[in-house]
Amino acid sequence: MNSFNTDEDTKKILQKYNHCRVKIYTFNQSRYPRINKESLLPVAKDVSYSGENTEAWYPPGHGDIYASFYNSGLLDTFIGEGKEYIFVSNIDNLGATVDLYILNHLMNPPNGKRCEFVMEVTNKTRADVKGGTLTQYEGKLRLVEIAQVPKAHVDEFKSVSKFKIFNTNNLWISLGAVKRLQEQNAIDMEIIVNPKTLDGGLNVIQLETAVGAAIKSFENSLGINVPRSRFLPVKTTSDLLLVISAQLSCKLLGIETVFVVPGLFCTTFSIS
């Protein structure tokens, strides 16, 4: 899933992989207008994306995947091909590989009832205190992000002893459930108000959603505590060098380990 900021660059990079026997699909998420914090009116003068209007638009967070995936036509395409689940991850998470044990659990649940939504969580450390966590409310799992926590309770939220896990954003989601909920307009996600300051000094508001927040809309949702090795975000060159160093060390020690970059946010599965 790309935004209007990254779509063209991504397509150029993907041309290098035309010879590979892997199908790589892309689709664009929505484009929303930034809101002037003082007037509460859109910053954009018109619907164009050029000139002074460039900063007036933003991608509304990864929670937009459900609507954009549906609107792109890819959801129906994959369902028509017999695919049943989509694996969603952050593109910078090099630990987000396909885990066949989790997939087997989805297809052959111990209680006989398939999960429509599985969220991978892992143990929180002091470096992860801002990560969202799972709670249970009114019989449903819910994702709570730090942006939703009142200031008086932020320190409590960051506690590694009270909230011991956080969301890796590795998600396994039923395609049929996404289609059903999207057509019923029943995917409920909390709105995150994200204040920003543009280069010119204008204070604006962005309204965003998080993909994991939809967990409460799905039936029989589940959180699975996974090893830390499934959460290896690479946001800087030094992060990448650290991962490469770990790989080389494992090879020198004769330990077999593989890190695979997830294919542009989503991987789908057909079950025979």
Which of 124, 205, 119 shows the shortest CA–CA distance to 170? 119
CB 88 within 8 Å of CB 265: yes
Q: Maximum distance among all alpha carbons in the chain?
A: 62
CB 171 within 8 Å of CB 211: yes
Helices in the chain by DSSP H: which ranges? 7-14, 65-72, 74-80, 100-107, 154-158, 175-183, 237-252
CB 187 within 8 Å of CB 217: yes
Active site residues per annotation: 235
d(Cα 260, Cα 253) in Å, to the nearest integer?
A: 20
Pair of tokens at residue 255: 């330990």
- Which residues, 6 or more positions from 177, have their beta carbon under 8 angstroms from its beta carbon? 116, 117, 218, 219
| AA letter at 163 | F
